[in-house]
Amino acid sequence: MSHVLTTKMTRRAVLGAGLFIGSSLLLKGCQKAFNSVSNADEIIVTTYGGSWEEGHRNKLASSFAKTHNANVRVISEPGLEAVAKVLAARQQPPYDVILIPEGPMFMANAEGVLQEFPQDASQNHAKILPQYHNQVLAPMVGSQVLGIAYNPERIKNPPRSLLDLWSSEYRDRVGVPSLESGLGTTFFVELARLEGGSENDVEGAFAKLAQLRPNLAAVAPNPGSLATLLQQGEIDIAPHWFDYISGIRGKGAVVEWVAPTEELASSSSSLQIVRNSQATELAAAYVDTALSLEVQSAMAQPPYNFVPTHQDAPIPEELAQKLGKSPSDRLDEVVFIPDWQVINPNRSAWIERFDREVKI
C-alpha cells in the first residue's frame, strides 16, 4: 500500500465517510495554472458553518471538483479547532486546506504548520487588494464587517453608533459577544479605538464595558448564539457581522443591521495550505479558485454577502446601499483592519479579565 493511500485511509478513519459535491459553476479562469499537476484525486478542506459553508459547498467546492476532476471533502470546523487538529497531527494532518481568521492564521504560521502559497503560479494573487496580502502565505478570501443588529419591531429609534448601546433607552436589552469569538474580540478592539486607545491600549474598552452593565442582558459565546438571542427576544440590540444578519434576515428572521457612523471594523479569513499535505498542488489550485473573480463575486451576493478581497469583485449591494456607495466602489476608506499580530499575545489575558469583569 502506498504512503499516499495509507494517509488517505487514516484521514478517512478520523473524519468518517462522506463526500460533499454540490451544484456546478464552471470556472475557466482557474484551469491553467494548477491543472492536473498532482497525482492526488481528493482534498479535504475546512470551512466555517452557516453562510461560509453554504457558499463554499455551492460556489467553490463543486466547481473546483468539476474543473479539476477531483473530489473535495468539505468539513465544517471553526478555525481555531482546525488549527488545533493540525497541530496535533503535524506529520499526517487531517486537512489539506483550512479556513482560518487572522488571529489563528498568525498563530498557526508561527507554529510552522502552514505552507507557502505559490504566488508566481497563481492567476489571481495579483488581483487581491494589497491590504489582504499575507507575505508568503495565501491572501484573504473574504471579509466580514461589524455593525449593529437590532429587532425593528422593538427598537423604534435605530442606532447609528456602536456607542448607542450605552443609551439609557436600551436598559436590559443589549447583548454582546464573548472575547473568545472573533466577533467579540473585533468589537472589543473597535471599542478601545473609539475610546481613544488601540490594540496596544485597551483600558478604555474595559472601562466602557463596565459602564454597560445596566443595559447588558446577555453575553453570548459566539455569533450564532448572539443572533439566536436576538431572534428569541432575549435581547433587542447587539454588535454583529453584516453577512450573518443579512443571511438570517433572508431566511425570515425579524432583524435589521445598520452600519455605524464610525469606520467599519472588520475580520478577514483565508484558506491556507497545510504543511505536509499529500495534495499540495491540488490544495494550491483550490485556494486559487477561491481567490478568483467568479467565486469572489458569487460569495458577495445573497445569501452569503461577504466583502470580497478581489479588486474587481463587487461589494454586496445591500451593504453598498447602507453605506451610500455603489457595488463597484471600494471600501478602503471606511474599513478598519485590526492588527492581530498585536492582539494575539494579549488575547488570553483579555479573555480572562473580560470573563471576570463583564457579568450580568
* Closest of 93, 143, 136 to residue 113, by C-alpha: 93
Q: Residue 110 contacts by C-beta under 8 Å, 6 or more apart in sequence? A: none
pLDDT band at 293 (very low <50, low <70, confident <90, very high): very high
- Cβ-in-10-Å burial (0-12, 13-18, 19+) of 23 comes to exposed
* Closest of 344, 343, 287 to residue 107, by C-alpha: 344
Does residue 332 fall inside a structural domain? no
CATH number at residue 88: 3.40.190.10
User: What pLDDT was estimated at residue 360?
Assistant: 80
CB 138 within 8 A of CB 273: yes
Look at residue 23 and tell me whether its pLDDT is greater than 80. Answer: no
- Looking up cell 478520523 gives 14
Look at residue 4 and tell me whether its pLDDT is greater than 80. Answer: no
204 and 80 assigned to the same domain? no
CB 271 within 8 A of CB 290: yes
Can you tell me the distance from the alpha carbon of 267 to that of 338, in angstroms, rounded to the nearest whole number? 8
* Closest of 27, 48, 105, 45 to residue 247, by C-alpha: 48
248 and 279 assigned to the same domain? no
- Looking up cell 459553508 gives 53
61 and 206 assigned to the same domain? no
Does residue 307 fall inside a structural domain? yes
151 and 254 assigned to the same domain? yes
* Closest of 360, 282, 245 to residue 70, by C-alpha: 282
User: What pLDDT was estimated at residue 28?
Assistant: 35
CA 263 to chain centre: 19
User: What pLDDT was estimated at residue 334?
Assistant: 86
CB 32 within 8 A of CB 276: no
Look at residue 276 and tell me whether its pLDDT is greater than 60. Answer: yes
Q: Which domain holds residue 220?
A: 144-266+340-357
**Total domains, the chain:** 2
284 and 175 assigned to the same domain? no
pLDDT band at 338 (very low <50, low <70, confident <90, very high): very high
